[in-house]
A and B are shown apart, each in its own frame.
Chain A
Amino acid sequence: MATTAPASTATSSMGTSEVITMANVNKWYGDFHVLKDINLSVKSGERIVVCGPSGSGKSTLIRCLNRLEEHQEGDIAVDGIELTDNIKNIDAVRAEVGMVFQHFNLFPHLSVLDNCTLAPIWVKKTAKAEAEALGMKYLERVRIGEQALKYPGQLSGGQQQRVAIARALCMTPKIMLFDEPTSALDPEMVKEVLDTMVDLAKEGMTMLCVTHEMGFAKAVADRVIFMDQGEIVEQNEPNAFFDNPQNERTKEFLNQIL
């Protein structure tokens, strides 16, 4: 892995099975240039933590990967599928990519189990019984199987976020995106969610995670990406990233949060 600071690509040595490639991606919100010449590639099984100050474009970056946001310039390919306006491509990508949101975004009118089985039943056309078995399997994996028939509003924040993870896993995605999964949680609930994510990482899931949990980054990340003002400023493996940051902006950021 490349260890030099300036971002640009630095990905040539990453291996062959690249599941995500972003090439010269630019995005604007009106006049605001939110992503600037993003080049990034992620190989299968890689765990990536994206950090940076708020407004740096890190959420936008991962939301471009399943087309919750549109990029205006450059190319994004996920699992070999080019993300364009083509709805078929978008649906194909979304079937491969699971996402976990800061505010869980569970469906409050559906039970925990129904939250998990909805997409398998309607998107993947899985039989109901099979989908329910799948849902229970993943709910048990995030250690929440006994709450399957409750409604999201009856669970704590940490439990809800674990349900959200199980819900995403029910689509058996190849890639999981986490958009600040612990930022909306009470401090005592952060650990249960991080533990679940660590388990997932150990199983070899390809993960992109926007988070400020530097302990998590040190424990599981293969690579930490630092973004500021829409650019990837620096990326490195976690030890080097935290112990020996190269860029001034990285140093300043790390000083503030560590």
Chain B
Amino acid sequence: MADISNTGVNFVPTEPRPAPASIRPGPMTWMKERLFNTWYNTLFTLVAIYVLATSVPSLIDWFFTSALWSDAPADACDAVTGACWAFVYEKWRFILFGTYPFEQQWRPGGAVIIFLGMVIISCFKPMWNKSLLVIWPVGLIICWILLAGGIFGLDSVPNNLWGGLPITLMLAVIGCGLAFPVSIALALGRRSKMPIIKAFCVGYIELIRGVPLITVLFMASVMFPLFMPEGITIDKLLRAQVAIIMFAAAYLAEVVRGGLQAIPKGQYEAADAMGLSYWQAMTFIILPQALKITIPPQVNTFIGMFKDTSLVLIVGIFDLMFTMRVAINDLEWRAFYIEGMVFVAILYFLFCFSMSKYSQWLEHELHRGHKR
């Protein structure tokens, strides 16, 4: 090295460092480093192992090993120590479709399949065009015909007999779907410079958000008819649906407003400077960005609303949660409410978890083009 200064060269590249011997540590090293590296980590690890070792086997035992997995009368269940899934065998149709006439239950079943089919195809990007504006009204009419009947030789089934899964799904999906545009209008209105519009939106959001959903449902179902002229009635289900839309819209509006506020001022200024009108700026510049960044809290609200639809039972609409409770009121099966709860919980979980996963995919998908 010493003679380098004589040559006038003062830069010598260093030898490349050798590659690390192994990037992946072995399982023993991994456990040592992650689970037993300090005394408190060791303690937590041991406690966790103890809790899992005592709980998981008995859960599996209850759920699978000692459970009765076949169609059997209720007294057969006394013999088993685990879950009695015979209850679900016996009652699943009542839980899913409530008091809908038994031999006609293919109709709500078909409606659920069509409805879920529409939801699923609406999830894919290539479908995001005008065809959805045709598919949804047509699909909803078909669902309605299937459920209500009265034409095409289908027996008429009044909607106080409807119940279970179709009710939960439709109240939640239509509720959130229609609440979404309303919430955008409310959020924009709350940021408006026009005092009356702003006051209305602030008042609406704060009022609806400030009372429980039960109150809104109760108002829609009990108080609202009192104000209607005599002889005019609006269907109970429709009133509950409107109440859910109103309620969800107030929550979503604040989510959307948060997104609007997160968009840098420069975006608004650039749109203004280019001469875009307010609506053009909102439609093409601000809302696409604001709605995208608020996907996680939006889905949070959707999931919450999906589960909150179970409150419609207080106005006498029989959702999935309520049909399950009625099912366990059967004296013979009274002892098996845990099985019923687990069954309904699994159904709820499937829907909510799908929403969560879809939102993650959607975020990724919408972000793909312009990631740095």
Which A residues lie at the B interface, using CB under 8 A?
66-68, 91, 94-95, 97-99, 101, 103-111, 118-119, 122-123, 151-154, 167-168, 171
Chain A residues with CB below 8 A from B369, complex form: 109, 111, 151
A88 → B minimal CB distance (Å): 11
A10 → B minimal CB distance (Å): 28
Interchain CB contact (< 8 A) of A153 among B266, B270, B289, B371: B371
Chain A residues with CB below 8 A from B267, complex form: 105, 107
Q: Is the C-beta of B273 less than 8 angstroms from some C-beta in chain A?
A: yes
Q: Is the C-beta of B272 less than 8 angstroms from some C-beta in chain A?
A: yes
Q: Is the C-beta of B193 less than 8 angstroms from some C-beta in chain A?
A: no
Q: Are B274 and A151 in contact (CB under 8 A)?
A: no
Interchain CB contact (< 8 A) of A105 among B270, B284, B289: B270
Interchain CB contact (< 8 A) of A118 among B276, B289, B370: B276
Q: Are A154 and B370 in contact (CB under 8 A)?
A: yes
Q: Can you name the residue of chain A whose Cβ is closest to the Cβ of B370?
A: A151
Query: Which B residues from 250 to 308 make CB contacts under 8 A with A?
Result: 264, 266-267, 269-270, 272-277, 280, 284-285, 288-289, 292
Q: Can you name the residue of chain A whose Cβ is closest to the Cβ of B265?
A: A105
Interface of B is mostly: helix
17 pairs from A and B in contact (CB 8 Å cutoff): A66-B273, A94-B272, A99-B273, A104-B266, A106-B270, A107-B285, A108-B289, A108-B370, A109-B288, A110-B284, A118-B276, A123-B275, A153-B371, A153-B372, A154-B370, A167-B274, A171-B274
A152 to B369, CA, bound (A): 10
A107 to B369, CA, bound (A): 13
Q: Are A101 and B269 in contact (CB under 8 A)?
A: yes
A98 to B284, CA, bound (A): 19
Given A109-B289, A118-B284, A151-B369, decide whether A171 and B275 contact each other with a Cβ distance below 8 A. Answer: yes
A202 to B296, CA, bound (A): 50
Q: Can you name the residue of chain B whose Cβ is closest to the Cβ of A94?
A: B275
Chain B residues with CB below 8 A from A66, complex form: 272-273
Q: Are B275 and A91 in contact (CB under 8 A)?
A: yes
Chain A residues with CB below 8 A from B285, complex form: 107, 118
B333 → A minimal CB distance (Å): 54
The 8 tightest CB contacts between A and B, nearest first, are A151-B370, A105-B270, A94-B275, A105-B266, A119-B274, A99-B273, A153-B372, A123-B275
Chain A residues with CB below 8 A from B273, complex form: 66, 68, 94, 97-99, 101, 168
Q: Are B266 and A122 in contact (CB under 8 A)?
A: no
Interchain CB contact (< 8 A) of B276 among A67, A122, A151: A122
A91 to B269, CA, bound (A): 13
Which interface residue of B267, B274, B277, B292 has the most chain A CB atoms within 10 A?
B274
Q: A94-B274, A109-B289, A118-B274 are in contact. List 20 more A-B contacts (CB 8 A).
A: A67-B272, A91-B277, A97-B273, A103-B264, A105-B267, A107-B284, A107-B285, A108-B370, A109-B292, A109-B370, A110-B284, A122-B284, A123-B274, A123-B276, A151-B369, A152-B370, A153-B370, A154-B370, A167-B274, A171-B274
Q: Can you name the residue of chain A whose Cβ is closest to the Cβ of B288?
A: A109
B304 → A minimal CB distance (Å): 27
A153 to B324, CA, bound (A): 52
Q: Can you name the residue of chain B whose Cβ is closest to the Cβ of A106?
A: B270
A104 to B270, CA, bound (A): 9
Q: Are A101 and B372 in contact (CB under 8 A)?
A: no
Q: Can you name the residue of chain A whose Cβ is closest to the Cβ of B292?
A: A109
Q: Are B275 and A154 in contact (CB under 8 A)?
A: no
Q: Can you name the residue of chain A whose Cβ is closest to the Cβ of B366?
A: A109
Q: Can you name the residue of chain B whose Cβ is closest to the Cβ of A68?
A: B269
Q: Are B276 and A119 in contact (CB under 8 A)?
A: yes
Query: Which B residues from 318 to 372 make CB contacts under 8 A with A?
Result: 369-372
Q: Are A154 and B276 in contact (CB under 8 A)?
A: no
Q: Are B270 and A107 in contact (CB under 8 A)?
A: yes
A123 to B372, CA, bound (A): 29
Q: Can you name the residue of chain B whose Cβ is closest to the Cβ of A114?
A: B284
A94 to B270, CA, bound (A): 11
A122 to B269, CA, bound (A): 17
Chain B residues with CB below 8 A from A67, complex form: 272
A103 to B292, CA, bound (A): 22
Q: Can you name the residue of chain A whose Cβ is closest to the Cβ of B280?
A: A122
A122 to B275, CA, bound (A): 9
Chain B residues with CB below 8 A from A110, complex form: 284
Chain B residues with CB below 8 A from A118, complex form: 274, 276, 284-285
Q: Can you name the residue of chain B whose Cβ is closest to the Cβ of A154?
A: B372
Chain B residues with CB below 8 A from A91, complex form: 275, 277
Given A101-B269, A105-B266, A105-B269, decide whether A119 and B275 contact each other with a Cβ distance below 8 A. Answer: yes
A185 → B minimal CB distance (Å): 15
Q: Are B266 and A101 in contact (CB under 8 A)?
A: yes
Which interface residue of A94, A105, A153 has the most chain B CB atoms within 10 A?
A105
B272 → A minimal CB distance (Å): 6
Chain A residues with CB below 8 A from B276, complex form: 118-119, 122-123
A105 to B270, CA, bound (A): 6
Chain A residues with CB below 8 A from B284, complex form: 107, 110, 118, 122
Chain A residues with CB below 8 A from B266, complex form: 101, 103-105
Q: Can you name the residue of chain B whose Cβ is closest to the Cβ of A93?
A: B275
Chain A residues with CB below 8 A from B272, complex form: 66-68, 94
Which interface residue of B273, B280, B289, B370 has the most chain A CB atoms within 10 A?
B273
A148 to B211, CA, bound (A): 51
